[in-house]
A and B are shown apart, each in its own frame.
Chain A
């Protein structure tokens, strides 16, 4: 099971930013099959609404659709999320991630990319495991 605090599964807060509300329903459905983590998803349809959410509270992970009108793609949206001082993981989800510009996702502050077809319980489990684990590096203590 996922990381626990006093025997309770730690709640993972996810912010999903997608202009298609159907994606929220699909993600919620897929999350029901993720039995390794306790996950809560907030959903907004625009980047502006997402930035407002970020001003209110913190999230463990942000999943953002690549195309979010009026912005062109993640190269415009993810830097705005970073400018809002969010330093958690950001993953880009898109129907098609094969375009060349996706190769530069790291330069624009994103942590990973995944096609919408790949997002299922197993992928979500990996994402939650990987991006909510403590990968901090020691300063000067023995390792």
Chain B
């Protein structure tokens, strides 16, 4: 399937997208195309490990990024988590979710859930300020955003029951097993400390590990490293 519109290069960018910054760029292009003010993507998988909004947020087009989400009071966070978890189809909300309202600065919100092959779910929250939207426009937006979410799920390793590990993830886990810190691994592999931590974080999510030691133990147990 291809995107609803292909003449503005978004589909090509989506097909090229590798990491979260690439997906930020694609979601932004789509948001601009359909006139949404901003967007946030949550990964409900992470709730098994850490039910914190900032930890389950994959992409944040918010004034203070994911850090904004730490400012939300626990009751409102839980209400949003419950709302995200119960969503089964796109929802057009007359007002943004209470927890996100201070950061979204919009009159309405659209929430689009996507279930990956593994059953894990992503939910996109869009800030909407338009008075009305033509039905065809709404359908096109949902269609395009769903495809982008599916690609994001693949990039995040949520497309297979047995998680696939990228070469770099395995290398980083191997060095972690040798007792190296993130900064030491970054120097060894010629990467940034940020990216090393992202690899460790994604490996932890895939193995549902709680910390580095747990990650190494599980990685050995399932044969990712020896």
The answer to whether A89 and B192 touch across the interface, beta carbons within 8 angstroms, is: yes
Q: Given known contacts A106-B18, A126-B65, is B25 in contact with A140 (CB within 8 Å)? A: no
Q: A85 — which chain B residues lie within 8 A by C-beta?
A: 187
State how many angstroms separate the Cβ of A56 from the closest Cβ of chain B. 19
Q: B19 — which chain A residues lie within 8 A by C-beta?
A: 106, 111-112
Q: Given known contacts A118-B25, A135-B201, is B67 in contact with A3 (CB within 8 Å)? A: yes
Bound: A89/B183 CA distance, A: 12
Q: Given known contacts A89-B194, A122-B61, A133-B66, is B213 in contact with A139 (CB within 8 Å)? A: yes
The answer to whether B192 and A126 touch across the interface, beta carbons within 8 angstroms, is: no
Residue of A nearest to B212 (CB): A139
Q: A105 — which chain B residues lie within 8 A by C-beta?
A: 18
Q: A137 — which chain B residues lie within 8 A by C-beta?
A: 182, 197, 200-201, 204, 211-212
Quick check: is B63 within 8 A (CB to CB) of the other chain? yes
Bound: A72/B133 CA distance, A: 47
The answer to whether A87 and B183 touch across the interface, beta carbons within 8 angstroms, is: yes
Quick check: is B168 within 8 A (CB to CB) of the other chain? yes
Pick from A82, A103, A126, A135: contact of B198, CB below 8 A: A135
The answer to whether B64 and A36 touch across the interface, beta carbons within 8 angstroms, is: yes
Q: Given known contacts A136-B182, A137-B200, is B192 in contact with A90 (CB within 8 Å)? A: yes
Bound: A106/B168 CA distance, A: 9
Q: Given known contacts A103-B16, A103-B18, is B211 in contact with A87 (CB within 8 Å)? A: no
Interface residues on A, range: 35 or more
Pick from B24, B64, B200: contact of A2, CB below 8 A: B64
Residue of B nearest to A128 (CB): B65
The answer to whether A133 and B190 touch across the interface, beta carbons within 8 angstroms, is: no
Instruction: Specify which of A83, A89, A118, A136 lies most central, judged by the most chain B CB atoms within 10 Å of its CB.
Output: A136
The answer to whether B194 and A135 touch across the interface, beta carbons within 8 angstroms, is: yes
Q: Which of B152-206 contact A (CB under 8 A)?
A: 168, 182-183, 186-187, 190-195, 197-198, 200-201, 204
Q: A103 — which chain B residues lie within 8 A by C-beta?
A: 16, 18
The answer to whether A111 and B195 touch across the interface, beta carbons within 8 angstroms, is: yes
Q: B18 — which chain A residues lie within 8 A by C-beta?
A: 103, 105-106
Residue-wise interface mask of B (46-70) relative to A, using a CB-CB cutoff of 8 A (1 in contact, 0 not): 0001100000000011111111000
Quick check: is A138 within 8 A (CB to CB) of the other chain? yes
Residue of B nearest to A141 (CB): B211
Q: B213 — which chain A residues lie within 8 A by C-beta?
A: 139-140
Q: Given known contacts A36-B63, A139-B211, is B190 in contact with A79 (CB within 8 Å)? A: yes
Sample 20 A-B pairs with CB under 8 A, ordered by A number. A2-B64, A87-B186, A87-B192, A88-B193, A103-B16, A106-B191, A111-B21, A111-B192, A113-B22, A125-B65, A126-B60, A126-B65, A129-B62, A133-B67, A135-B197, A135-B198, A136-B182, A137-B212, A138-B212, A139-B211
- 5 cross-chain pairs, A with B, having the tightest CB-CB distances, nearest first: A129-B65, A112-B21, A82-B190, A87-B186, A109-B190
Q: Which B residues form the contact surface with A (CB < 8 A)? A: 12, 16, 18-22, 24-25, 28, 49-50, 60-67, 168, 182-183, 186-187, 190-195, 197-198, 200-201, 204, 210-213
